[in-house]
Amino acid sequence: MKPFLEHYNNNRFVEEDHRASTHHMLKQRVMRMVSGMLSLWVVTVTRVDVQKHDFNADASDYKLLKDVGFWLPQSIKKLNMVKNLKYIDPTYMIRVVQPMHQTMFTDTLLAWSVVHGAIAGYTEYTSDLINGRPTNIPYNRITEKQNNVVITG
């Protein structure tokens, strides 16, 4: 029988850590952007029902929904309010961004926190590290007051 840590370091877990690290790095880059820009992040596994009446079904008779990554930019462009819209395919970013060890460790802790919260039945929350401990924070606590940010100095 393999030791737990040796078993943990197989390729599947390394790939998951890599994806989480990539998401964290992209999120940090967006937070550094100049005011006046909107960045919209959508979970890559999100699907949308674009055809209300005509849909395909899998073997279990569940609807096969379209990928939101292609539908959302087209829908936003139809509003004619966008000057510059970019869709970054997350699978491409996974291949080009190399993770750092500390980021992988942090993202692993946050992923565990999210999974444990979901299994416990919690909804409408986010996970973050507070004093070095993974914590689930309800959305209403995050949005209860507004912080004013001075971007000029």
- pLDDT digits over 30-54, tens only? 444 444 455 555 555 445 555 454 5
Return all residues near 5 (Cβ < 8 A) that are at least 6 apart.
none
Please give the structure tokens belonging to residue 132: 């070095």
The residue-averaged pLDDT of 9-29 equals 52
For residue 127, pLDDT beyond 50: yes
- Predicted confidence at residue 20, as pLDDT, reads 55
pLDDT on residue 112: 84
Is residue 7 scored above 50 in pLDDT? no
What confidence tier does 152 reach under pLDDT thresholds 50, 70, 90?
confident
Give just the sign of the alpha carbon dihedral 123, 29, 91, 80: positive
Give me 131's structure tokens: 């004093």
Is the predicted pLDDT of residue 73 greater than 60, yes or no?
Answer: yes
Q: What is the pLDDT of residues 105-126, one digit of tens each?
A: 787 888 888 888 888 888 888 8
**Least reliable range by pLDDT among 3-7, 14-18, 55-59, 129-133:** 3-7
Closest CA to 77 of 89, 85, 69: 85
Residue 60 has pLDDT above 50, yes or no: yes
Average pLDDT along the chain: 66
Judged by DSSP in three states, 65 sits in coil
In this predicted structure, what is the pLDDT of residue 63?
Answer: 65
